[in-house]
Amino acid sequence: MSDFTSNFWPIFITTISLLGIFGCALLLWLTSKIKITSTNADNTSGHVWDEDLREMNNPLPRWWVWMFTITIFFALFYLAAYPGLGSYAGKFGWTQANQYEKEMADANKALEPLYSKFAAMPTEELASNKEAKAIGERLFMNNCAQCHGSDAKGSRGFPNLTDNDWIHGGSPAKIQETITGGRIGMMPPMAAVVGNAEDVKNVANYVLSLSGSMHDSGRAGLGKEKFVACAACHGPEGKGNQDIGAPNLSDNIWLHGAGEAAIIKRINEGKTNQMPAQGAKFTPAQIHVLAAYVWGLSNN
């Protein structure tokens, strides 16, 4: 890790760049000092290949020398103006991030007329509007499908957006809130609170019993009392709490895997999940259209 936080690589890049440029300049200067004298009347060097290929003893063409010189000066100007010397930012202050933000701002400005007609439309109407759905789908495919899948059905650790099982709420306002600000879901390790390994196994079976999943009824009966440590977030009946993002444990939908072993692992290790905020990436109108598309996936 120290390789990425030290000054070695910026210094290395700067040294290689400048040595290359000044090395070329030195080579050009040295060759210009060499006086060409020919001992042969035909102005050849005396070297012959393949019996009849003779090397001429001519200096470099002047236009070629000037092109070489201009290239060297251009390289020095470029490295002074733009970030090319290690951590040096350049006189113009150009960065890839600024360039990206400018291009995105220009693109969003050009798209304003397209989105303006959707701004006042309610989510329910947008979800059934063919043009808005097509735009929302494209936004989803380009930005959300990497985690939630192209069919929006998610995978382990990534919620299914088509099943009406919402951790933080599935209303249009909540979906917009989630897209804009992101979410951080955190379950702390609970093994020490629940008790020993047997208690953890009992609680896991009780949790399975809440959704009617296959479980050991004897262990589930013993785990019910210990479940009180979990009820503070998931509720006494295990139905969850969308205000704090505590999942419903009674609906047989498992975000991080089903079965006794998976639940025991969650109790022992806890889990932290994060959905990154997208508010800086999209305009409010784009978020409105995207939220309508996501809402429509489970309300069609």
**Fold held by 102-182+276-297:** Cytochrome Bc1 Complex; Chain D, domain 2 (1.10.760)
Q: How does DSSP assign 1-12, residue by residue?
A: -HHHHSSHHHHH
Long-range CB pairs of 40-47, under 8 A, 24+ apart, other chains included: none
Domain residue ranges of the chain, discontinuous segments joined by + = 2-81, 102-182+276-297, 186-275
Using CA atoms, how far apart are residues 255 and 183, in angstroms rounded to an integer? 15
294 contacts 154 by C-beta, under 8 angstroms: no
Whether pTM > 0.75 for this model: the answer is no
Which superfamily is assigned to 186-275 in CATH? Cytochrome c-like domain (1.10.760.10)
Count of C-beta atoms within a 10 Å radius of residue 13: 15
Cα 119 to Cα 18: distance, rounded to the nearest angstrom: 54
**What's the mean per-residue pLDDT of the chain?**
90
Q: Write out pLDDT tens, residues 13-51.
A: 889 989 999 999 999 888 888 776 656 677 777 788 888
Question: Quick check: do 102-182+276-297 and 186-275 share a fold?
Answer: yes
Arithmetic mean of pLDDT, 77-92: 88
Q: What 3-state DSSP class applies to 167?
A: coil
